[in-house]
Amino acid sequence: MIYNGETRTCGLIGNPVEHTLSPLLQNYLAEETGTNMVYVPFHVEKGRLEEAVKGAHALNLLGCNVTVPYKTDVVKYVTELDDMAARIGAVNTLVRNEHGFKGYNTDMLGLYRAMLNDGVDPEGRECVILGAGGVARAVAVLLLEKKASHVYILNRTLERAQAIAEEVNQMAGSEFVKAYTLKEYDKLPGDQKFLVIQATNVGMHPHIEEVVIEEEAFYERVEVGYDLIFNPGDTRFMQMTSRGGGKAYNGAKMLVYQGIIAFELWNGITISQKTAEVVNQLVAEALKK
Protein backbone atom coordinates (compact mmCIF):
# COMPACT_ATOMS: atom_id res chain seq x y z
CA MET A 1 0.00 0.00 0.00
CA ILE A 2 1.28 3.47 -0.94
CA TYR A 3 0.34 6.21 1.54
CA ASN A 4 -0.11 9.75 0.30
CA GLY A 5 -1.93 13.02 0.96
CA GLU A 6 -5.30 11.33 0.42
CA THR A 7 -4.75 8.48 2.89
CA ARG A 8 -7.48 8.36 5.54
CA THR A 9 -6.72 7.31 9.10
CA CYS A 10 -8.75 5.13 11.45
CA GLY A 11 -7.67 3.85 14.84
CA LEU A 12 -8.40 2.22 18.15
CA ILE A 13 -9.15 4.28 21.27
CA GLY A 14 -8.53 2.41 24.50
CA ASN A 15 -6.33 1.81 27.53
CA PRO A 16 -4.43 -0.44 27.11
CA VAL A 17 -4.22 -0.96 23.34
CA GLU A 18 -0.80 -2.57 23.01
CA HIS A 19 -2.23 -6.10 22.77
CA THR A 20 -4.72 -5.36 19.98
CA LEU A 21 -5.03 -7.37 16.76
CA SER A 22 -7.17 -4.69 15.12
CA PRO A 23 -4.32 -3.11 13.08
CA LEU A 24 -3.56 -6.54 11.56
CA LEU A 25 -7.21 -7.00 10.61
CA GLN A 26 -7.97 -3.48 9.39
CA ASN A 27 -4.76 -2.89 7.44
CA TYR A 28 -5.17 -6.25 5.70
CA LEU A 29 -8.70 -5.26 4.66
CA ALA A 30 -7.47 -1.90 3.37
CA GLU A 31 -4.74 -3.52 1.29
CA GLU A 32 -6.97 -6.33 0.02
CA THR A 33 -9.71 -3.93 -1.10
CA GLY A 34 -7.39 -1.21 -2.41
CA THR A 35 -8.73 1.26 0.15
CA ASN A 36 -6.42 4.20 0.85
CA MET A 37 -6.65 3.88 4.63
CA VAL A 38 -4.30 3.17 7.51
CA TYR A 39 -5.26 1.95 10.99
CA VAL A 40 -3.26 2.60 14.16
CA PRO A 41 -3.77 2.22 17.95
CA PHE A 42 -4.32 5.28 20.17
CA HIS A 43 -3.54 4.86 23.88
CA VAL A 44 -5.88 7.33 25.61
CA GLU A 45 -5.17 8.08 29.25
CA LYS A 46 -7.95 8.09 31.84
CA GLY A 47 -9.88 11.37 31.87
CA ARG A 48 -8.94 12.31 28.30
CA LEU A 49 -11.62 10.48 26.31
CA GLU A 50 -13.59 13.59 25.36
CA GLU A 51 -10.40 15.28 24.16
CA ALA A 52 -9.53 12.20 22.14
CA VAL A 53 -12.92 12.03 20.37
CA LYS A 54 -12.93 15.76 19.58
CA GLY A 55 -9.30 15.57 18.50
CA ALA A 56 -10.01 12.63 16.20
CA HIS A 57 -12.67 14.69 14.44
CA ALA A 58 -10.44 17.76 14.28
CA LEU A 59 -7.70 15.64 12.71
CA ASN A 60 -10.15 14.43 10.04
CA LEU A 61 -10.05 10.78 11.12
CA LEU A 62 -12.47 8.64 9.15
CA GLY A 63 -13.49 6.71 12.26
CA CYS A 64 -12.35 4.80 15.32
CA ASN A 65 -12.93 1.63 17.22
CA VAL A 66 -13.37 1.99 20.98
CA THR A 67 -12.29 -0.66 23.45
CA VAL A 68 -12.11 -1.03 27.23
CA PRO A 69 -12.58 0.90 29.40
CA TYR A 70 -14.38 3.47 27.22
CA LYS A 71 -17.23 1.68 25.43
CA THR A 72 -19.88 3.07 27.78
CA ASP A 73 -18.35 6.48 28.49
CA VAL A 74 -17.90 7.31 24.81
CA VAL A 75 -21.69 7.37 24.32
CA LYS A 76 -21.67 10.85 25.89
CA TYR A 77 -19.38 12.19 23.17
CA VAL A 78 -21.07 11.03 19.95
CA THR A 79 -23.36 13.33 17.94
CA GLU A 80 -25.58 10.49 16.73
CA LEU A 81 -26.30 6.98 17.99
CA ASP A 82 -27.34 3.85 16.11
CA ASP A 83 -30.57 2.32 17.47
CA MET A 84 -28.97 -0.92 18.67
CA ALA A 85 -26.07 0.92 20.28
CA ALA A 86 -28.58 3.15 22.08
CA ARG A 87 -30.41 0.11 23.45
CA ILE A 88 -27.20 -1.60 24.50
CA GLY A 89 -25.77 1.58 25.99
CA ALA A 90 -22.28 0.93 24.65
CA VAL A 91 -20.36 1.92 21.52
CA ASN A 92 -17.30 0.30 19.99
CA THR A 93 -17.25 2.00 16.57
CA LEU A 94 -17.27 5.69 15.66
CA VAL A 95 -18.15 6.72 12.10
CA ARG A 96 -17.41 10.28 11.05
CA ASN A 97 -20.24 12.69 10.26
CA GLU A 98 -20.32 16.45 9.74
CA HIS A 99 -20.30 17.48 13.38
CA GLY A 100 -18.62 14.54 15.10
CA PHE A 101 -19.11 10.79 15.07
CA LYS A 102 -22.05 8.39 14.94
CA GLY A 103 -21.74 5.54 17.43
CA TYR A 104 -22.39 1.88 16.61
CA ASN A 105 -22.03 -1.39 18.50
CA THR A 106 -20.45 -3.73 15.97
CA ASP A 107 -19.53 -6.21 18.74
CA MET A 108 -23.08 -7.54 18.78
CA LEU A 109 -23.51 -7.19 15.03
CA GLY A 110 -20.28 -9.18 14.75
CA LEU A 111 -21.59 -11.90 17.05
CA TYR A 112 -24.76 -12.11 14.98
CA ARG A 113 -22.84 -12.36 11.70
CA ALA A 114 -20.58 -15.03 13.24
CA MET A 115 -23.65 -17.03 14.27
CA LEU A 116 -25.18 -16.84 10.80
CA ASN A 117 -21.86 -17.87 9.28
CA ASP A 118 -21.92 -20.93 11.54
CA GLY A 119 -25.48 -21.73 10.43
CA VAL A 120 -26.99 -20.62 13.75
CA ASP A 121 -29.91 -18.19 13.54
CA PRO A 122 -31.18 -17.09 16.99
CA GLU A 123 -34.66 -16.30 15.66
CA GLY A 124 -37.23 -18.47 17.44
CA ARG A 125 -34.61 -20.16 19.65
CA GLU A 126 -34.65 -20.69 23.39
CA CYS A 127 -31.43 -19.08 24.65
CA VAL A 128 -29.32 -19.04 27.80
CA ILE A 129 -26.80 -16.36 28.74
CA LEU A 130 -24.15 -17.14 31.35
CA GLY A 131 -23.19 -14.01 33.29
CA ALA A 132 -24.83 -10.67 34.01
CA GLY A 133 -22.27 -8.03 33.15
CA GLY A 134 -22.29 -5.47 30.37
CA VAL A 135 -21.59 -8.06 27.67
CA ALA A 136 -24.45 -10.25 28.90
CA ARG A 137 -26.81 -7.29 28.77
CA ALA A 138 -25.71 -6.51 25.21
CA VAL A 139 -26.26 -10.13 24.17
CA ALA A 140 -29.76 -10.06 25.66
CA VAL A 141 -30.58 -6.94 23.63
CA LEU A 142 -29.19 -8.58 20.48
CA LEU A 143 -31.32 -11.68 21.03
CA LEU A 144 -34.38 -9.48 21.51
CA GLU A 145 -33.58 -7.59 18.29
CA LYS A 146 -33.08 -10.85 16.38
CA LYS A 147 -36.36 -12.35 17.64
CA ALA A 148 -35.17 -15.17 19.86
CA SER A 149 -38.05 -16.96 21.61
CA HIS A 150 -36.91 -16.50 25.21
CA VAL A 151 -33.72 -15.76 27.12
CA TYR A 152 -32.70 -17.19 30.50
CA ILE A 153 -29.85 -15.42 32.31
CA LEU A 154 -27.88 -17.53 34.77
CA ASN A 155 -25.55 -15.65 37.11
CA ARG A 156 -23.77 -16.17 40.42
CA THR A 157 -25.79 -13.36 42.03
CA LEU A 158 -29.48 -13.31 41.16
CA GLU A 159 -29.90 -9.55 41.63
CA ARG A 160 -27.66 -8.62 38.70
CA ALA A 161 -29.42 -11.06 36.41
CA GLN A 162 -32.80 -9.72 37.53
CA ALA A 163 -31.73 -6.15 36.81
CA ILE A 164 -30.92 -7.04 33.19
CA ALA A 165 -34.12 -9.06 32.88
CA GLU A 166 -36.25 -6.15 34.06
CA GLU A 167 -34.55 -3.70 31.73
CA VAL A 168 -34.78 -5.88 28.62
CA ASN A 169 -38.32 -6.97 29.41
CA GLN A 170 -39.30 -3.32 29.50
CA MET A 171 -37.88 -2.96 25.99
CA ALA A 172 -39.70 -6.10 24.88
CA GLY A 173 -43.04 -5.27 26.51
CA SER A 174 -43.19 -8.89 27.67
CA GLU A 175 -41.46 -11.44 29.89
CA PHE A 176 -38.78 -12.15 27.33
CA VAL A 177 -35.98 -12.67 29.88
CA LYS A 178 -36.03 -14.69 33.09
CA ALA A 179 -33.27 -14.69 35.69
CA TYR A 180 -31.82 -17.57 37.72
CA THR A 181 -28.71 -18.25 39.75
CA LEU A 182 -26.11 -20.56 38.24
CA LYS A 183 -27.16 -23.32 40.63
CA GLU A 184 -30.73 -23.08 39.35
CA TYR A 185 -29.91 -24.27 35.83
CA ASP A 186 -32.17 -27.25 36.50
CA LYS A 187 -35.13 -24.82 36.52
CA LEU A 188 -34.74 -24.18 32.81
CA PRO A 189 -38.14 -25.07 31.35
CA GLY A 190 -39.07 -27.99 29.16
CA ASP A 191 -36.74 -30.67 27.87
CA GLN A 192 -35.47 -28.85 24.77
CA LYS A 193 -31.86 -27.88 24.16
CA PHE A 194 -30.62 -24.29 24.16
CA LEU A 195 -28.42 -21.84 22.34
CA VAL A 196 -26.01 -20.82 25.12
CA ILE A 197 -23.74 -17.76 25.14
CA GLN A 198 -20.96 -17.73 27.72
CA ALA A 199 -20.57 -13.99 28.42
CA THR A 200 -18.13 -13.93 31.34
CA ASN A 201 -14.32 -13.93 31.45
CA VAL A 202 -14.28 -17.23 33.36
CA GLY A 203 -11.91 -19.62 31.61
CA MET A 204 -9.85 -16.88 29.96
CA HIS A 205 -6.10 -17.34 29.80
CA PRO A 206 -4.31 -18.01 32.13
CA HIS A 207 -7.22 -19.48 34.15
CA ILE A 208 -8.05 -22.01 31.46
CA GLU A 209 -9.31 -24.74 33.80
CA GLU A 210 -12.20 -22.62 35.09
CA VAL A 211 -15.80 -22.86 33.91
CA VAL A 212 -18.96 -21.09 35.06
CA ILE A 213 -21.01 -24.28 35.54
CA GLU A 214 -19.23 -27.51 36.42
CA GLU A 215 -22.14 -29.97 36.24
CA GLU A 216 -22.21 -32.11 33.11
CA ALA A 217 -26.03 -32.28 33.29
CA PHE A 218 -26.19 -28.65 32.19
CA TYR A 219 -24.14 -29.28 29.05
CA GLU A 220 -26.45 -32.09 27.98
CA ARG A 221 -29.00 -29.32 27.35
CA VAL A 222 -26.68 -27.21 25.17
CA GLU A 223 -27.37 -27.54 21.45
CA VAL A 224 -24.96 -24.77 20.45
CA GLY A 225 -22.53 -23.04 22.79
CA TYR A 226 -20.70 -19.77 22.09
CA ASP A 227 -17.90 -18.79 24.43
CA LEU A 228 -17.13 -15.12 23.75
CA ILE A 229 -13.59 -15.75 25.01
CA PHE A 230 -11.04 -16.34 22.22
CA ASN A 231 -7.93 -17.04 24.32
CA PRO A 232 -7.63 -19.97 24.72
CA GLY A 233 -9.23 -21.04 21.47
CA ASP A 234 -10.74 -24.15 23.08
CA THR A 235 -12.10 -23.22 26.51
CA ARG A 236 -13.32 -25.65 29.12
CA PHE A 237 -16.87 -24.43 28.44
CA MET A 238 -16.41 -25.45 24.81
CA GLN A 239 -14.94 -28.83 25.78
CA MET A 240 -17.84 -29.61 28.09
CA THR A 241 -20.34 -28.47 25.46
CA SER A 242 -18.76 -30.85 22.95
CA ARG A 243 -18.76 -33.73 25.44
CA GLY A 244 -22.45 -33.09 26.05
CA GLY A 245 -23.16 -33.47 22.33
CA GLY A 246 -23.41 -29.80 21.40
CA LYS A 247 -21.57 -27.68 18.85
CA ALA A 248 -19.05 -25.29 20.41
CA TYR A 249 -17.57 -22.03 19.11
CA ASN A 250 -15.26 -19.37 20.54
CA GLY A 251 -15.29 -15.58 20.19
CA ALA A 252 -12.64 -15.26 17.46
CA LYS A 253 -15.15 -14.91 14.63
CA MET A 254 -17.04 -12.28 16.60
CA LEU A 255 -13.76 -10.36 16.91
CA VAL A 256 -13.20 -10.61 13.18
CA TYR A 257 -16.73 -9.71 12.10
CA GLN A 258 -17.03 -6.72 14.42
CA GLY A 259 -13.91 -5.34 12.75
CA ILE A 260 -15.16 -6.14 9.26
CA ILE A 261 -18.46 -4.38 9.93
CA ALA A 262 -16.59 -1.32 11.22
CA PHE A 263 -14.47 -1.28 8.05
CA GLU A 264 -17.63 -1.53 5.93
CA LEU A 265 -19.24 1.37 7.81
CA TRP A 266 -16.19 3.60 7.43
CA ASN A 267 -15.70 2.94 3.74
CA GLY A 268 -19.17 2.17 2.39
CA ILE A 269 -18.15 -1.17 0.90
CA THR A 270 -19.01 -4.82 1.51
CA ILE A 271 -16.35 -7.37 2.41
CA SER A 272 -16.75 -10.70 0.62
CA GLN A 273 -17.09 -13.94 2.53
CA LYS A 274 -13.89 -15.15 0.86
CA THR A 275 -11.96 -12.21 2.29
CA ALA A 276 -13.63 -12.69 5.69
CA GLU A 277 -12.42 -16.29 5.75
CA VAL A 278 -8.84 -15.18 5.05
CA VAL A 279 -9.06 -12.64 7.89
CA ASN A 280 -10.42 -15.34 10.21
CA GLN A 281 -7.35 -17.44 9.42
CA LEU A 282 -4.96 -14.53 9.94
CA VAL A 283 -6.46 -13.75 13.35
CA ALA A 284 -6.52 -17.44 14.35
CA GLU A 285 -2.80 -17.72 13.54
CA ALA A 286 -2.02 -14.50 15.42
CA LEU A 287 -3.86 -15.75 18.50
CA LYS A 288 -1.65 -18.85 18.60
CA LYS A 289 1.52 -16.75 18.97
Which residues carry out catalysis? 71
Residue 266's CB: how many other CB atoms inside 10 A?
25
Calpha distance 18→128 (Å, rounded): 33
Calpha distance 74→7 (Å, rounded): 26
Strand pairing of 93-96 and 101-104? antiparallel
**122 cis-preceded (ω within 30 degrees of 0):** no
Calpha distance 141→135 (Å, rounded): 10
What are the C-alpha distances in Å from 168 to residues 122, 123, 272?
A: 17, 17, 34
Strand order in the sheet with 194-198: 177-181, 150-155, 126-130, 194-198, 222-227, 247-249
